[in-house]
A and B are shown apart, each in its own frame.
Chain A
C-alpha cells in the first residue's frame, strides 16, 4: 500500500474503531466501573449547607459541655507574644479548658492514620479554641487590620515557635537526623537548634490545633493545620486548606490560601474538585512572609489540596 493510500485507510479504520469503542463502552460501562454514582452526593454534601448544619450541631453540643468548665482552676492559660512581618508586636492571652485539651488528645488517638485526621481535629477543636479565636478577632478589630494583615498576623503567630519534630512509633526520635546529620533533642518542646522532638504522637505524627496552642510544639503539618484552623474559624471570607506533597526534604505539608490577587505566587496547587487555586505558604519558617514569595523549596511536586470541612 502506498503512503497516499495508507492515510485514508488508517483514518477510516480509526474512525470505525472509535465508533466501535463507544458502542462497547456503552455496554460495558458498569463492568468497567467508569462511573462513580456516589460522587455527586459527596460533592454536594461538601459544598452544601447540610454539612455546615451538622458542624453547627456538634459545636453547640461541645459548647454546652465546655460551659461546665469555666472554673479558672480547670483552665490552661497561655500568653503568646510575637512579631509579625511588618514589625508589629502582638500579644495574645487566652485560656483553654483542661477538659478540652484532654478531649483533643483523646480525639486525636481515635482518628485515622492518614490526612483525613486533620478534618477530625479541625472539627473537634473549634469550641476549645473559642477563647483564642476571640483573642485573634479582638486584635484584628482593635488594630483595624485588613484581611491580608490579619492573615499575616495569624500565620506569623503559628511560625513563631521554634520547629519541633513530631514523630510516631514508625519513625521514632532516635532515628531522626536533620540535613546536617544532627540528632534532635529528646525534649518535646519548642527550642532553638538542635530542635526538640516529640515521640509517639499517634496516629499520624501530628498534634491537633488545640494541642499546639497549649504546647507550641509542632512541625510542618501541625503548624499548617493550626494556622489553617484559626483562619477558617475566623471566617474572614477567603479559603484556607491543607496542602500535601513533596519537596527536596521529602513529604511535606503547607498551608494553602485561596485569595484574589495573592501576595505570592511561587508555588500553588489547584483543587481539581472546585477549580480553586491555593497558594502554598511555609509555616515552619519564622518570618516567611507572604510578600517575600516564600522561596523555600526548589522541588515542588505531587502536591494536592486536602479539603478540610
Chain B
C-alpha cells in the first residue's frame, strides 16, 4: 500500500501517462501524505498534553489524543482533496456539465443504436471519447480561484495550528515550566488559593508532565518563560501546518497536475459509460415492456394485470 493511498489517491487512473509523470505524481502525493500524517501526529501529541493537564490520566489522554489526531488528519485530508479542482483547465467545461462532452463527441447520435452493442463496446466508445478529450486539455495558470474557500481553509488550519503549537511547546519545555511553577510555589504563602488548588496535586491524582492543575497558568508560565521566542515557535508550527495547503494552491504540479486532470477524465469517462449503458438498457427494457402487451384498467381500485391473452 502506497502512502498516497492514505489521503485517497487512486494511482490506477494514471495508467495512460508516461512512467516518469506517474512516478513524479506519486512522489508528490506520497510527500503530501507524509506531511499530513506528521501534522496528525503533532495534533495527537498536543491533544494528549492538554488532556494530561486536565485529566491526569494517561489512558484518557491517549484516547483523546488519538481521536483528535485522527480528526485533524481527516479534516486536513478533506480540505486538500476538495481543494483539487479544475479551475484554469479546459476540462472544467466538460466536468461541470457532461452534456458538453456528449455533444462534442457525438454520443447523442448513438442514442438509438447503443442497444445493438455489447457493454464492452460501449466502454470502448467512452474511453475513445475520453482520449479525445485528453488531447484537448490546455491550462491557464492565471485562472482566478475562489478566495473565500481558500480563506476558510487557511483560517481553520491556522487556528488549529496555533492551538496545537501551545501543546507542543508545553511538551518541549515541560521541565522548564515545572521549574518556573516550583519557583512560583515557593513565593506563594501556603494558604494562597493558587498554592492550594492549582499547584498542589490531589492525593489520588498525582501530576503528570506539568505540575499544575491549570491550563491557563501553564500557558502563562510558557508565555512568560519563552518571551519573544514564543512567537517564533508559534510561527514555526503555523508554517508546518500551512505548507500542505500552500502546495495544493500554489504548486502547478499539483493544482494543474496530471493526477487532477486524469481524475477528472476518469470521472467523465465513468459517467459517459454509465450514460451509454443507461441508454442501452432503457431501450432493452422499453422493448420488453412493449412485448408484454400490458393492458391498463380504467379504475384505480384494481391492480394492473397482464392481459388474459398473454397469461393464457
Residues of A within 8 A of B (CB): 4-5, 7-8, 11-12, 14-15, 18-19, 21-22, 25-26, 29-30, 34-41, 43-45, 50
Contact = CB atoms under 8 A, between A and B. Distances in A.
A31 to B, nearest CB: 12
Interface in B171-200: 171-173, 176, 179-181, 183-184, 186-187
A243 B188 CA distance: 31
Given A4-B252, A12-B31, A29-B172, A38 B247 contact: no
Interface residues of B, number: 38
B224 interface: yes
A41 B247 contact: no
B243 A11 contact: yes
Given A34-B229, A41-B183, A43-B224, A14 B243 contact: yes
Contact of A37 (B168, B179, B236): B179
A8 B225 contact: no
Interface of A is mostly: helix
Contacts of B243: 11, 14-15, 18
B183 A38 contact: yes
Interface string B24-49: 10001001000100100000000000
Nearest to B238: A18
Interface of B is mostly: helix
A38 B28 CA distance: 46
A43 B243 CA distance: 36
A4 B25 CA distance: 12
A7 B240 CA distance: 16
A15 B240 contact: yes
A14 B239 contact: yes
A21 B236 contact: yes
Nearest to B181: A40
Nearest to A4: B252
A54 to B, nearest CB: 11
A47 B180 CA distance: 16
Contacts of B149: none
A2 B233 CA distance: 32
A7 B179 CA distance: 43
A22 B169 CA distance: 9
Ranked 5 nearest A-B pairs via Cβ: A35-B176, A39-B224, A26-B172, A40-B180, A41-B183
B246 interface: yes
B158 interface: no
A43 B221 CA distance: 10
26 contacts: A4-B251, A4-B253, A5-B24, A7-B247, A7-B252, A8-B28, A8-B251, A15-B38, A18-B236, A18-B239, A22-B236, A22-B240, A30-B176, A34-B226, A34-B229, A36-B224, A37-B183, A39-B180, A39-B224, A39-B227, A41-B180, A41-B183, A41-B184, A41-B186, A41-B187, A45-B187
